Amino acid sequence: MSVMVIIGAGPGIGLSVAHRFGKEGYDIGLIARSSNMLQHMQDELSAAGINTIYAVADVAKPESLKEALFTINHRLSYPELYLYNAAGFHYQNILGMDWKTMEEDFNINVGGFFHLMRLILPRFMELNRGNVLITGGGVANHGNANLTTLSVGKAALRNLMQAYQEQLEGSNIFLGMLTIEEFVNAEDKRYNPTQIAEEFWKLYQERSNYSAFEVSY
């Protein structure tokens, strides 16, 4: 049984990735903060014949994330693949922003990934295998005066991922980031969630060919 867990599951990229990997035989675990949204996603995926469960969690809180992962592990099995897709942002000009807002989103964009890795890496390292995909963003490449929490968060997330890659170099543990250079738009031929899910599948399938473990799209 192959299991994928999507952290930060939502009706855009998360749902499309669940459909794409589910079509390939993966059981899907979904983690997000909204139980109603997760239930709707589960219903849609189950109708498509994809075995799906969900657990509610706040990724910024390690104990909450730990409990959600335990629920999925108990009901499916230990996942071999994770997608970190959680993102927090406020559309607010930097001159009117307070630190609490920055900290709140940073705890989602970066803290959640840090907590995830602390929870899953011991088993991955023991087995010397495992896979983590990460949703990156082109906003990491330059500061944005109105999306500062997102641009700073994605930049720090990328840096944190690279630190783990350096530590895990030579192992069979794969960390791959898909950096999406434009904003996701369901009407865009290139940057719609279905096409992005296809790029995640391509990255995962070709992971042995990548040396930098980051693909810009």
Tell me the per-residue pLDDT of 42-94, one tens digit each, with 9 for 90 and over. Answer: 999 999 999 999 999 999 999 999 999 999 998 888 899 999 999 999 999 99
CB 88 within 8 A of CB 100: no
CA angle 170, 121, 23 (to 5 degrees): 90
Q: What's the rounded Cα separation, in Å, for the pair 26 and 18?
A: 8
pLDDT score at 212: 65
User: Which parts of the chain have pLDDT scores under 50?
Assistant: none
CATH code assigned at 19:
3.40.50.720
Give me the DSSP letters along 153-186: HHHHHHHHHHHHHHHTTTSSEEEEEEEE-S---T
C-beta separation of 200 from 12 below 8 A: no
- Give pLDDT, residue 1: 74
Nearest to 147 by CA among 107, 102, 89, 81: 89
Q: What is the pLDDT of residue 68?
A: 97
Residue of 143, 135, 151 lying closest to 90 (CA atoms): 151
For the whole model, what pTM was predicted? 0.95
Number of domains in the chain: 1
DSSP character at residue 107: I
What gap in Å lies between CA 149 and CA 152, rounded to an integer? Answer: 5
Domain range for 114: 3-216
